[in-house]
Amino acid sequence: MKKSDLILIAAVVAVVCAFAFIPGAWDGFNYATSSHPFLMSFVKFSILSTIGEMIGLRISRGTYYQKGFGVLPRMVIWGILGMLICGAFIVFKAGTLSLYGVLGLKEAAEWFAPGAPLTWGKVLVAFTVSVLCNTFFAPVFMTFHKISDTHIRNTGGTLKGYFCTPMPVGKIICNLDWNTQWNFVFKKTIPLFWYPAHTLTFLLPGNIQILFAAFLGVALGIILAVANNR
């Protein structure tokens, strides 16, 4: 274990202790989340998902940072993606309940209501939201992330390089490793990991769903590291 690993572990422990022992810390966090959901989604994803990618780099390259990695542009892009994910959660949860209503299963809204007890009906609705969100939104999200990640590397990992250099989307798409993207990222991680992971996410209280989804960004960093190694 390297010194950098110990620093990361110490930082995680410090944050957990802060929420556990500082009076009002968790209440303040929940208030900020409910009052400013998109801003808080930006903060959560920019920090946690970037850390996830750094852990992925540690797994694949043995270090948390290397020249051209682009921590700052990754944080900005992950923050923006976090806001999009927050919006997607709202849309797909409401859309799923509307779909069940059209199909005649109006009880679905009661099963899935905030504070409703855990029942098989609630699990069914949560699973449906997860399947629809990850089937229709996740592939586009993952592909854009891959394009953005490539552009970060191609522009030296700087904010100026990323935002001031035109992104050659068509060229990047043509050069993506679609074999890994399709056969591993889409075909395996979506049904085997993201379907159940986001089912659990939608079963959690609303105030921590985005936080848990952001923590899943750490898992995403590890998954991408495995994909890159493949």
Res 225: pLDDT: 65
Spans in the chain with pLDDT lower than 70: 221, 223-230
Res 56: pLDDT: 81
Q: Are 108 and 100 in contact (CB under 8 A)?
A: yes
Res 219: pLDDT: 75
Res 195: pLDDT: 95
**Per-domain residue ranges of the chain:** 1-35, 37-229
**Chain centroid to CA 7: how far?**
23
Q: Nearest Cα to 216, choosing from 199, 194, 184?
A: 194
Rg (CA), the chain: 19
pTM, entire model: 0.89
Res 8: pLDDT: 81
Res 20: pLDDT: 80
∠ CA 195-99-201 to the nearest 5 degrees?
30
- In angstroms, how far is the first alpha carbon of the chain from the final one? 24
Q: Nearest Cα to 61, choosing from 141, 145, 146, 4?
A: 4
Q: Are 96 and 135 in contact (CB under 8 A)?
A: no
